[in-house]
Amino acid sequence: MGTPETSREPCPDRILDDVGGAFGMGAVGGSAFHFLKGIYNSPSGTRLLGGTQAVRMNAPRVGGSFAVWGGLFSTFDCSMVYLRQKEDPWNSIFAGAATGGFLSMRQGLGASARSAVFGGVLLALIEGAGIMLNKVLSGPQNMPIMIDEQEPVPGMVGGGPPGIPAGLPGNPVQVAESGSSDSDSSWFGGWFGGGQKKEPATSGGSKTEILESFDAPPVPSFEYNCLEYFEIEAVFEEIEFCENMMVLLSHIRDWKFILFYPSLAANEYTTVSFSSLSSSELFSLTMPPLLPLLLVLRSRTAHSYSLSVSSLVTLLRRRRSMATVVSTDPVSPTNTRVGWIGTGIMGRSMCAHLLNAGYTVTVFNRTLSKAQPLLDIGANLADSPHSLASQSDVVFSIVGYPSDVRHVLLHPSSGALSGLRPGGIIVDMTTSEPSLASELSAAASSKNCSAIDAPVSGGDRGAKTGTLAIFAGGDESVVQKLNPLFALMGKVNYMGGSGKGQFAKLANQITIATTMVGLVEGMVYAHKAGLNVELFLNAISTGAAGSKSLDLHGSRILKRDFEPGFYVNHFVKDLGICLKECQNMGLALPGLALAQQLYLSLKAHGEGNLGTQALILALERLNNVRLDNAVASKPSA
């Protein structure tokens, strides 16, 4: 049982210690705060889900912010230790001021100075109080140190019969007891510890255990770097073999992780050992490769280390290969399973193209009857997005609203992302918020998956004929990999990073909305002027006024065919997102605002489930006209 620590970790180890501690503090505190805030702000019936979602979205950000603060503070603190060659609360005061000033430099000198004062006072109080409290609570430790004695045997380093490595069962490994020294105070070679006072070996209850290198027969080849992990909970006495190496473990007490590897610098075995890992260090195994290496190779009791460059490279490569699972196989019906969420007017036709091409497709839709046509031609049915994703390599979604996207893809228990295996891909083809696309991409990356935003344009006719315009945003290599699937539905256009596909689709919707306003206004004007509207449309279709909207909707309007190729309700949603983004950008688009109001009037009249060509109804009501006789009217002389 140890006594309280009388000081913080030696520099620069304390930087890593404080980064982990600050991250944990921010993540836990931020989780509690945002969970309560999410519960409070969520509607009745979804409060628990809202709180959980708020934690998932905000806890990593808060933890990261705390970690940056902690890392910068400790870096400045260690710099002061190096410059002043001593530890005292003044280091914390200077470090707090430097941290606050540094983080506010972009806002100007005045803001930087104010933050420096605030940071210096606040963090100095925290750090100073912590140091003082440790000094008050700490006490001397006079616990006896148990060391197994061993008689030296001639002809053997460290004792033992000739030809047998030191530390065989019955021959304990020699333990060297010491305090902080130049050689072991820091694994940066004592750069920070030059002028610090050495403590007696018996003070503070800290000791160093060194596993001595031992002589062994020459190793024939080091082309294969052998890296072994051993999990040891208590006393471990056993011989392990790894390729041509024999590493002896004996009488190693209460150590958790041991790394053994051959050193290329000499024909000997080198041992890297470190004490039990804390929870923050175990958590670090999910971080990028370099940071966990630094966190893992830190010691709470100043142990010595010896690490060859080749082993460092091997460890980094092993970490990377374990962390990321990316399939390099080309997409084809033989090796790619597809999941499809949303089988409405657009989704049903798009998914049918994949089935007809021979892909194995699993579908999910809240209304089973809308999925039945796909089941009839060979699709499988899943009972939840999670279940669908667990049996798919690529998951497509095309649903109604951003809230639907969040539910079917990001729900923590039933969402598709929760069931997707590492290396899987999510493709959201819903017209949605660009910020949600970025959020989805980040959530997928955290699970070693990928997410692409790929909304489409072309209506039900383009979906049926496979001639849609697809606006793709995200990782370009992933988009290229998915080309065989996109090609079955239309032409893919890569627009840039995550969210750019949604931005492109919103710009497309603005163009369509204002074009539709111009089309129906022109038709009402032609009708009021006594023109044959059908002849008028034929005449302008070959001129500058010709457009896809005219080709798709002109004849439908004349026939009073308002069956949806795209719902008014969904178009109102799209235009609302456009206006929201315009507000964020400080952008004024009056034509967009007018179009949104006209379509909103259709929704107010209960016409939200009609197609977008029903805009003619709003103009007819405004002008008290009706185009029923538009085709029958003859041109006057």
Q: Of the candidates 210, 215, 211, which has an alpha carbon nearest to the alpha carbon of residue 266?
A: 215
Report, as an integer, the average pLDDT of 303-318. Answer: 42
For residue 330, being part of any structural domain is answered with: no
Task: Say if residue 480 is in the same domain as residue 520.
Answer: no
User: For residues 295 and 278, what is the distance between their CA atoms, to the nearest angstrom?
Assistant: 10
Output phi, psi for 205, to 5 deg.
70, 15
Question: Is residue 130 domain-shared with residue 155, that is, in the same domain?
Answer: no
Answer whether residue 2 is part of any domain: no
What confidence tier does 101 reach under pLDDT thresholds 50, 70, 90? confident
Residue 3 in any domain: the answer is: no
Residue 259: phi and psi, rounded to 5, are -115, 130
Mean pLDDT across the stretch 340-345?
Answer: 94
Tell me the residue length of the chain: 637
SS3 content of the chain, % helix, strand, coil (to 5): 50, 10, 40
Of the two residues 20 and 284, the one the predictor is more confident about is: 20
477 and 550 belong to one structural domain: no
In tens, the pLDDT along 484-528 reads 999 999 999 999 999 999 999 999 999 999 999 999 999 999 999
Residues 282 and 341 in one domain: no
Q: Which structural domain, as residue segments, surrounds residue 345? A: 337-498
Chain position carrying tokens 């000081």: 7
Closest CA to 309 of 248, 264, 355: 264
**Is 421 part of any domain?**
yes
Q: Does residue 542 form part of some domain?
A: yes
Compute the mean pLDDT over every residue in the chain, rounded to the nearest whole number.
74
Q: Which of 446, 414, 408, 411 is nearest to 427 (CA)?
A: 408
Please give the tally of structural domains in the chain: 4
Of the CA atoms within 13 Å of residue 547, those in its CB half-sphere come to 16
Are residues 108 and 65 part of one domain? yes
Among the listed ranges 148-162, 257-271, 553-567, 613-627, which one has the minimum average pLDDT value? 257-271
DSSP 220: S
In angstroms, the CA 454 to CA 431 distance is 8
Residue 181 predicted with pLDDT over 70: no
Q: Are 570 and 598 in the same domain?
A: yes
Active site residue 505: yes
Which residues, including other chains, have CB under 8 Å from residue 247's CB and lie 6 or more apart? Answer: 228, 239, 240, 260, 269, 271
| Residue 271, beta-bridge partner list | 260
Q: Look-up: residue for tokens 């798709």?
A: 552
Which of 137, 152, 168 is a domain's end point? Answer: 137
Residues 398 and 440 in one domain: yes
Per-residue pLDDT band for 395 (boundaries 50, 70, 90) equals: very high
Give the max Cα distance, the chain. 126
Q: For residue 285, is pLDDT > 50?
A: no
* Cross-strand partners of 471: 493
Rounded average pLDDT over 276-301: 37
523 part of a folded domain:
yes
Q: Which candidate, 537, 533, 553, places its Cα nearest to that of 545? A: 537
Q: Are 399 and 461 in contact (CB under 8 A)?
A: no
d(CA 331, CA 318): 27
Side chain identity, residue 67: A
**Would you say 247 and 240 are in contact if contact means Cβ atoms under 8 Å apart?**
yes
Residues 202 and 311 in one domain: yes
pTM of the model: 0.50
Going by pLDDT thresholds of 50, 70 and 90, the confidence category of residue 139 is low
pLDDT for the residue 630: 55
* Lowest-pLDDT choice from 203-207, 375-379, 386-390, 584-588: 203-207
Alpha helices by DSSP H, 43-88: 47-84
Residue 103: predicted pLDDT: 79
C-alpha closest to that of 80 among 12, 174, 139:
12
Q: Is 292 found in the same domain as 352? A: no
Helix (H) or strand (E) holding 248: strand 245-252
Q: Which of 498, 528, 552 is the last residue of a domain?
A: 498
* Residue type (1 letter), 77: D
Query: Do residue 206 and residue 351 come from a single domain?
Result: no
- Across the range 216-243, mean pLDDT stands at 37
Q: What is the pLDDT of residue 357?
A: 95
Which of 448, 476, 498 corresponds to the end of one domain?
498
**Does the pLDDT of residue 243 top 50, yes or no?**
no
CB 215, CB 165: distance < 8 Å? yes
**Strand 394-397 vs strand 450-453: parallel, antiparallel, or unpaired?**
unpaired
| Of residues 274, 272, 279, the one with CA closest to residue 301 | 274
Tokens 């509207």 belong to: 533
Q: Which residue would you say has higher pLDDT here, 382 or 241?
A: 382
Look at 244 and 576; give whichever has higher pLDDT. 576
Q: Environment class of residue 383 by beta-carbon count within 10 Å: exposed (0-12), middle (13-18) or buried (19+)? A: exposed
With CA atoms as reference, report the closest residue to 189 among 21, 16, 309, 307: 307
Q: Which of 464, 481, 500, 505 is catalytic?
A: 505
Backbone angles phi, psi at 324, to 5 degrees: -120, 130
Domain of residue 404, CATH code: 3.40.50.720
**What's the CA gap between 195 and 288, in Å, rounded?**
35
Beta strand pairing call for 425-428 and 394-397:
parallel
- Highest mean pLDDT: which of 153-167, 290-304, 522-536? 522-536
Element (H, E) at 492: strand 490-496
pLDDT of 483 over the 70 cut? yes
Euclidean distance between CA atoms 442 and 498, whole angstroms = 9
pLDDT for 631: 52
Q: Which range, of 118-132, 419-433, 517-531, averages the lowest pLDDT?
A: 118-132
Q: 193 with 182: CB under 8 angstroms?
A: yes
Question: Peptide bond preceding 12: is omega within 30 degrees of 0, i.e. cis?
Answer: yes
pLDDT of residue 482: 96
d(C-alpha 217, C-alpha 425), whole Å: 51
Q: Is the pLDDT of residue 345 over 50?
A: yes
Is the domain of 149 the same as that of 294?
A: yes
Task: Tell me the pLDDT band of 619, cut-offs 50, 70 and 90.
Answer: very high
Q: What is the pLDDT of residues 102-127, one digit of tens each?
A: 877 777 788 788 888 887 777 667 76
Read off the CATH number of the domain in which 621 is found: 1.10.1040.10
Is residue 158 located within the same domain as residue 278?
Answer: yes
Residue 244 lies in a domain: yes
Count of other CB atoms within 10 angstroms of residue 587: 11
For 228, the enclosing helix (H) or strand (E) is strand 228-231
In-domain check, residue 332? no
> Where is 249: in which H helix or E strand?
strand 245-252
